[in-house]
Structure 1
Amino acid sequence: MFVKPPRLQIAALCFRPGDGEPEILLVSTRDTGRLILPKGWPETDRPASETALLEAYEEAGVVGAADPRPIGSFRSFKGLADGIRIRTKVLVFKIRFEKQLKTFPEIGERECHWLPLSQAMEKADEPALRRFLRKHRTDLT
């Protein structure tokens, strides 16, 4: 049986110093309000780390510095407008927070939540994302 390979998405793992542990940015999805990382489809005209920066800006107004290499990946599903869900591989780039703008393209469409890492590991709505955060918690420096 042939199984289609997962489609690739690029995610931004935005983090900043917090009290005792780093804070992680989770954003709500536009349709169901689930809490996820800012992410989107790769752009052919830019490196993946720049795509991660663009997603952080568009979805949450975050400006920062992206590591040029991914921290890792996890499997997920993307819900399409017609109700179909497709398998995705999510390639994750660390974004060191510098500032959050008051206006950005998707303002009013999503909620932004800065959470201590331990809470983000509980509140993220994707089990694979929760496992990813647990596995990489020591990499957020």
Structure 2
Amino acid sequence: MRLAGAGKRDVRSQFGAIPWRLNDGKVEVLLVTSRISRRWILPKGWPMHGATPAEAAATEAYEEAGVTGEPSNAAVGFYSYRKDFEGDDLPVVVAMFPLRVKKVLKDWPEKGQRKRKWVSRKKAAALLSEPELRLMVRNFDPRRLKG
């Protein structure tokens, strides 16, 4: 699959969610496993036609983690990684959007392909691979979110 208008080495954009909740006054983050390597990640995906970046991130959280809620329209940060895409090593920049989880579903589209677990910000940071994302999650504070 070729991404429209993108050259072989162009940077791609993705949108990701930081699904969060308060549990006994403490912030928890929902991690999911990746489908292939089974490492712990946050939901993310490609832009979606007709959806804002925050809406696309919320859709990924629903599909990958089985949660719905209120996305923030303001990105809390960005991180980059390299994605193996059909034999190409593509640079990707991900904008991350907080998603205050209102509902955790028993069934969701990728339930059979992923595991999920709620953890503290500190534990989430320790489990994630990308250094920029680890720092973003460790320092994530929903009290600083705008609207």
User: Structure 2 length normalisation: TM-score?
Assistant: 0.84
Could you report, residue by residue, the CA deviation over 1:79-102 in whole angstroms, capped at 9, with x for unpaired residues? 33x343311100000000101111
Could you report, residue by residue, the CA deviation over 1:97-131 in whole angstroms, capped at 9, with x for unpaired residues? 10111111101101112111111111112222112
Alignment partner, residue 140 of structure 1: 142
Q: Alignment partner of 2:113: what SS?
A: coil
Alignment partner, residue 132 of structure 2: 128
Give RMSD over aligned pairs: 1.7
Aligned equivalents of 1:85, 1:104: Cα separation in 2: 30
Alignment partner, residue 30 of structure 1: 35
CA deviation after TM superposition for structure 1 residue 50, in Å: 0.6
Q: Is the 8 A contact 2:9 2:90 kept in 1?
A: no
User: Equivalent pairs: percent with the same residue?
Assistant: 38
Query: Counterparts in 2 of 1:1-141, with a 5 A limit?
Result: 4-19=9-24, 21-80=26-85, 82-134=86-138, 136-137=139-140, 139-141=141-143
User: Structure 1 length normalisation: TM-score?
Assistant: 0.88
Instruction: Count matched residues.
Output: 136
CA deviation after TM superposition for structure 1 residue 63, in Å: 0.7
After TM superposition, the structure 1 stretch with the greater mean CA deviation from structure 2, 20-29 or 40-49, is 20-29
Q: Alignment partner of 2:132: what SS?
A: helix
Q: Is the 8 A contact 1:8 1:90 kept in 2?
A: yes
Aligned equivalents of 1:5, 1:18: Cα separation in 2: 41
Any unmatched runs of 5+ in structure 2? 1-7
User: Which amino acid in 1 is paired with 2:119?
Assistant: L
Any unmatched runs of 5+ in structure 1? none
CA deviation after TM superposition for structure 1 residue 44, in Å: 2.2
Q: Is the 8 A contact 2:15 2:94 kept in 1?
A: yes
Aligned equivalents of 1:100, 1:73: Cα separation in 2: 26
Could you report, residue by residue, the CA deviation over 1:29-79 in whole angstroms, capped at 9, with x for unpaired residues? 100011111000001211111101100000011010001121121112223
Q: Is the 8 A contact 2:10 2:90 kept in 1?
A: no
| Structure 1 residues 83 and 97: alpha-carbon distance in aligned structure 2, compared to 1, 3 A threshold | same
